[in-house]
Structure 1
Amino acid sequence: MSLSIQGKTAIVTGAGHGIGLAIGRHFAERGANVMFADCDEAALETELAGHDRESGPVRIFSGDLSARLALANLLSATLDAFDRVDILVNAHRLVKDSDPLEADPQEVEEMLRHNVLGSLRLSQIVARRMMKQAEAGGEGAQAGAQAGAIVNLTTLAGARPAPEKMGYSIACAAQEQATRNLALVLAPHRIRVNAVRFGSVMSHELQAALKTDPGLRSRMLAGTPLGRIAAPDELTEVVHYLVSEGARFVTGQVLTVDGGRSLVDAVTGAGPGARPV
């Protein structure tokens, strides 16, 4: 089973912070060319300041990743730099609180635009490029080698009600369904699409939430059977597997990485030593 991504070209969105940044760095350290994309140009410049961004394997792109033109420019910049794209990781997320009864419809639309439509549009244009590359190369079809791999990041909010973040919760569920639909359509082209649903992982958003809610950490630990919050690099290994040839027969799946948190009933606290989350 080959897990190598040496020489592959990846686009990673949401790569200015947290999990997206960790995934991009992980890929680059393992020999991949990586386009780090984010709306936060300052974060990209700061985090990747030590890399050769002229001729090395790392490039950055900043822009509104929910806008069609920016997405087209992102793909063009990647092709200009590396000539191809083999991997896409949609890690860009916008998380906001919302009142389920008083939520402004525009806020829900914003969650869908940033967390679903942007990723979907980017996946569509990248998939078309992957298909074109496969047609031009002609190699690998007989052996079942993949023509490309796409991974979407989502959270437990897509599988369990999160009324205080209703718009985001709806967006996560939609992202998972988009994953399944794209996987089915792209399978004949040897392009795999999967999602990683995470919970107890120290994301950029979780770091911010822990600062404003002193009791959140203890509640999360109580509701996580493994009793801890994972570091971002523990999620990157899972994403790495899904984009590698080692997972070439895996598509349309939503893989949960949450330390067992989804096993615990959020209302009754059912589980080994658990309390309500």
Structure 2
Amino acid sequence: MHFKNKIVIITGAASGIGKACAFQFAKKGATVVVADINLENAQKIADEIVTNQGNALPIKVNVAKFTDVEKLINTTVAEFGKIDIMINNAGIGPSYLKTHEATLRDWDRVISVNQTGVFYGMKLALQQFLIQGYGNIVNVASLAGLKASSHNISYSASKFAVVGMTKSAAMEYASQNIRINAVCPGYTASPLLDQLRNTKPEMDAKLKSVIPMKRYAKPDEIAAAVLWLASDETQFITGQTITLDGGTSL
């Protein structure tokens, strides 16, 4: 599996799963656009990729802003002439409240990034893919987009939406050499999980108790599935959600 001469955009690439994807794509030969709201960290990731003989371009983007995502796509095309792969990974967590306690601010904040941000990324990447005649999108959803998840209404809603958008768009563009899939990670060692554990320390043992493998996923393990779906080895796969949860959904 290689990505030589491929141009890959990864949102939320400065940490967690996005960071792992950036390093793995670069190691396999891709030129990686390290897109993140935190430009300082994105620059660090890009610098490390370049230091290891890879190619990377850091770009600041707030995926909740259409003009930011538009600039991301336009800058990438202007710089490299194409986009081969779009990884919509940027996401934020909720405030972990019951539905009747959830604030309007929390709802709007999470939906704008996790759902609307993915829509923006898909819409604009697809416009470029239609010009090129090909393309590949992998969305990072969640186990919370496949099954019930309490104290999580905005996050759950956004991730169910990502799964639905993935399937709907995959059907629309399957005949045009464009594939769209999603990964649905379970509990993964990442800043989002750290946020939950810092808010409710007692959750650490509770979460591990419902994972048959008794551990969290490593970001590299999720990234490996992203790369597989984005590769030429899965050319007849579209509209699918790959669950990586250590058996939690069982």
TM-score class, shorter = over 0.9
**Percent identity for Structure 1 against Structure 2:** 28
Instruction: Give yes or no for the alignment of 1:70 onto 2:68.
Output: yes
Name the CA distance, whole Å, in 2 between partners of 1:14 and 1:25.
Answer: 13
**What is the CA distance between 1:52 and its match in structure 2?**
4.5
Q: Structure 1 residues 9, 161: CA separation in 2 closer, same or farther (over 3 Å shift)?
A: same
Query: Which consecutive unaligned segments of at least 5 residues does structure 2 have?
Result: none
**What is the CA distance between 1:51 and its match in structure 2?**
4.7
Within a 5 Å distance, the mapping from 1:105-116 to structure 2 comes to 105-116=104-115
What residue in structure 1 maps to residue 27 of structure 2? 29
What residue in structure 1 maps to residue 183 of structure 2? 196
**What is the CA distance between 1:125 and its match in structure 2?**
1.2
Q: Structure 1 residues 51, 223: CA separation in 2 closer, same or farther (over 3 Å shift)?
A: closer
Q: CA RMSD, aligned part only?
A: 1.8
What residue in structure 1 maps to residue 59 of structure 2? 61
Moved more, 211-220 or 31-40: 211-220
Cα deviation digits, residues 83-119 of structure 1 (max 9, x gap)? 1101011110011214301323343232221111111
Within a 5 Å distance, the mapping from 1:202-217 to structure 2 comes to 202-217=189-204
What residue in structure 1 maps to residue 7 of structure 2? 9
What SS does the corresponding residue of 2:78 show, helix, strand or coil? helix
What residue in structure 2 maps to residue 272 of structure 1? none
Q: Does structure 2 conserve the Cα–Cα contact (< 8 Å) formed by 1:16 and 1:44?
A: yes
Name the CA distance, whole Å, in 2 between partners of 1:164 and 1:226.
Answer: 24
Q: Does structure 2 conserve the Cα–Cα contact (< 8 Å) formed by 1:33 and 1:82?
A: no
Name the CA distance, whole Å, in 1 between partners of 2:27 and 2:56.
Answer: 10
Cα deviation digits, residues 25-62 of structure 1 (max 9, x gap)? 11011100110111111221333334549x96200111
Name the CA distance, whole Å, in 2 between partners of 1:221 and 1:186.
Answer: 39
Query: Which consecutive unaligned segments of at least 5 residues does structure 1 have?
Result: 135-146, 264-277
Name the CA distance, whole Å, in 2 between partners of 1:213 and 1:104.
Answer: 19
Instruction: Give yes or no for the alignment of 1:38 onto 2:36.
Output: yes
Letter matched to residue 172 of structure 2: V
Cα deviation digits, residues 197-232 of structure 1 (max 9, x gap)? 011321221123233433323222211112221211
Which TM-score applies when normalising by structure 2?
Answer: 0.93
Matched residue pairs, number? 248
What SS does the corresponding residue of 1:48 show, helix, strand or coil? helix
Q: Structure 1 residues 231, 45: CA separation in 2 closer, same or farther (over 3 Å shift)?
A: same
Moved more, 93-102 or 188-197: 93-102
Dislocated runs of 4+, deviation >4 Å: none
Q: Does structure 2 conserve the Cα–Cα contact (< 8 Å) formed by 1:15 and 1:37?
A: yes
Q: Does structure 1 conserve the Cα–Cα contact (< 8 Å) formed by 2:26 and 2:54?
A: no
Q: Does structure 1 conserve the Cα–Cα contact (< 8 Å) formed by 2:63 and 2:120?
A: no
Name the CA distance, whole Å, in 2 between partners of 1:200 and 1:96.
Answer: 15
Larger Cα Rg: Structure 1 or Structure 2?
1
Within a 5 Å distance, the mapping from 1:232-271 to structure 2 comes to 232-263=219-250
Which TM-score applies when normalising by structure 1?
Answer: 0.84
Q: Does structure 1 conserve the Cα–Cα contact (< 8 Å) formed by 2:23 and 2:49?
A: no
Name the CA distance, whole Å, in 1 between partners of 2:197 and 2:122.
Answer: 32
